[in-house]
Amino acid sequence: MRVMLPFLLLLASSFSAAAADAPPARKTADIRQSGFVYCVNGQINTFNPQKASGGLVVDTLAAQLYDRLLDVDPYTYRLVPELAERWEVLDNGATYRFHLRRDVAFQTTPWFTPGRLLNADDVVFSFNRIINRNSPWHDVNGDSFPYFDSLQFGDTVQSVTKIDNHTVEFRLSRPDASFLWHLATHYASVLSEEYARQLASAGHQEQLDRQPVGTGPFQLSDFHTGQYIRLARHPGYWRGVPLMPQVVVDLGSGGTGRLSKLLTGECDVLAWPAASQLTILRDDPRLRLSLRPGMNIAYLAFNTNKPPLDNPAVRHALALSINNQRLMQSIYYGTAETAASILPRASWAYDGEAQVTEYNPQKSREQLQALGIKNLTLQLWVPTSSQAWNPSPLKTAELLQADLAQVGVRVVIVPVEGRFQEARLMEMNHDLTLAGWATDSNDPDSFFRPLLSCAAINSQTNYAHWCNSEFDNVLQKALLSQQLASRIDAYDQAQTILARELPVLPLASSLRLLAYRYDIKGLVLSPFGNASFAGVERVMEKAKKP
């Protein structure tokens, strides 16, 4: 059974002054001559990754519009310089000093012309807005910075100080071995302080997150809600001029509609194709397919604030009814592995001895009966769009519904859209939610704290509403040491607690998939998220006939 909820309009028509300029019917004809079309299923509620909790802006747009202080190499999984040429770790990990790259230009857009290059003021402004609750910018477009709030970033970072025009220092309240990794995520984008001052003078502060200005390889040109985003090349990009003059991010269709567009050439790139479409993609000589292990996890979250799900024994009994192997066969088609931990196997803190939850419906029925659970009805909230960690959320929900029905539990599926899901989940009326997480950090802290810490409840990323002081203390212990062995020991304890309490049931860790036309070259598929499009080009070759 499904209960359909009304679609929530997430973006005001004033999101971009340029949004209404380009007629949608012309975009494909134009783009074939000067760029490419990137088809993805998603919605936009902000263009500032600092204000997002995942989704299209973090997975795809952030790498085009903005840069960060640090990056993660997609092949070695090591921290590498981006806007910071180099950095120093001081005071046993309680102070971090960054030396900024020179000659980095901000984008020139119809709404802003920069008068200077990037400097320390931009870094101070970008992070002071997050950590300083008294900043006039902190509450603009809401006071939520979901990723950073889940880390208690404002309590951890005592100050962000400009040493000189090209040196910035972060002072922390205590050592944090994960700090650099969090600055390498796409959530940690650097904004223009000069642009912010201009908006403040005009009384239009809200435009900071709606009409973006960054230092990335592409800048916003047009945006039509639910249809497409057009990005134009940033000619002053510090790494060199991007190869393609423009990119269109097509939001117009999902599922088989996006596949049809790829096959007919309306799309050049298809992000996150359904695993069931792989045979078609592999057999078509006009197409190429990239697969890489991903730093992501799909999971089922129990609302631990609602009886009877507040009882770990009930959660364990329900977990026994889930046929995870069938999920692997029916949803992922060999493009994922069954998850035994909230950490993907690629994480350096993954517990190699972790066991996948047993599938035993008879045992599940017996345990539920012993606990006095009868005639139980649960609402399962499910995102409607395909995700990096789950190509078919609604189909997954239907399989879970069937599994739980076998043990006498009725499940009502509630499809929800984008940020609407997050808002309703935080009302704590749901029983279960099908969720997931992907990060562009290889540090396990970027999974544990955003998903399961007490602070993450208020930041709207802890869908289980689970708060465990023992677990939080172990996570803090892991941050105090720069020694990898000590951190691994702490994270082993964390995973033991999660296996015992089971606030979430890990389901799958998925490969990242990308399908594209034969003439598109230079796409980099990263395990941490989609990389910059600056090196993508169209190389005309003689196409093979299908």
User: What would the two tokens of residue 468 be?
Assistant: 């465990």
Say yes or no: 85 and 99 in one domain. yes
Say yes or no: 336 and 460 in one domain. yes
The model carries a pTM of: 0.81
11: in domain: no
Three-class DSSP category at 478 = helix
What DSSP character marks residue 33? H
CATH number at residue 538: 3.40.190.10
Say yes or no: 300 and 166 in one domain. no
pLDDT digits (tens, 9 = 90+) for 84-96: 999 999 998 999 9
523: in domain: yes
Say yes or no: 323 and 472 in one domain. yes
6: in domain: no
Report d(CA 385, CA 255) in Å as an integer: 9
Domains in the chain: how many in total? Answer: 3
Which residues lie below 8 Å from residue 279, measured CB to CB, with a gap of 6+? none
Among 234-248, 310-324, 338-352, 410-424, the minimum mean pLDDT is found in 410-424
Say yes or no: 257 and 314 in one domain. no
Say yes or no: 387 and 425 in one domain. yes
Report d(CA 56, CA 68) in Å as an integer: 17
User: pLDDT band for position 426 (50/70/90)?
Assistant: low
User: What would the two tokens of residue 173 be?
Assistant: 């309240």
User: pLDDT band for position 20 (50/70/90)?
Assistant: very low
User: What would the two tokens of residue 1 be?
Assistant: 């059974």
Contact 295, 344 (CB under 8 A): yes
User: pLDDT band for position 496 (50/70/90)?
Assistant: very high
User: What would the two tokens of residue 404 be?
Assistant: 């739980």
Which residues lie below 8 Å from residue 28, measured CB to CB, with a gap of 6+? 37, 248, 266
8: in domain: no
Question: Which residue, 171, 163, 188, 151, is CA-closest to 96?
Answer: 171
122: in domain: yes
User: What would the two tokens of residue 14 be?
Assistant: 């004033």
CA atoms within 13 A on the CB side of 372: 3
What DSSP character marks residue 68? -
Say yes or no: 159 and 273 in one domain. no
Which position has the token pair 């909790």?
A: 53
Say yes or no: 303 and 414 in one domain. yes
Secondary-structure breakdown of the chain: helix, strand, coil percentages, each rounded to the nearest 5? 35, 20, 45
350: in domain: yes
| pLDDT for residue 364 | 98
| pLDDT for residue 24 | 43
CATH number at residue 74: 3.90.76.10
Say yes or no: 499 and 440 in one domain. yes
Say yes or no: 235 and 325 in one domain. no
Range list of H helices, 184-332:
193-202, 256-264, 278-283, 312-319, 324-327
Say yes or no: 314 and 453 in one domain. yes
User: What would the two tokens of residue 514 be?
Assistant: 């990308």
Listed residues 162, 197, 232: the one ending a domain:
197
Domain span at 136: 67-197
Report d(CA 337, CA 522) in Å as an integer: 28
226: in domain: yes
Question: Which residue, 502, 456, 503, is CA-closest to 475?
Answer: 456
Say yes or no: 313 and 398 in one domain. yes
Which position has the token pair 């404002």?
A: 154
| pLDDT for residue 23 | 39
User: What would the two tokens of residue 491 be?
Assistant: 């994270």
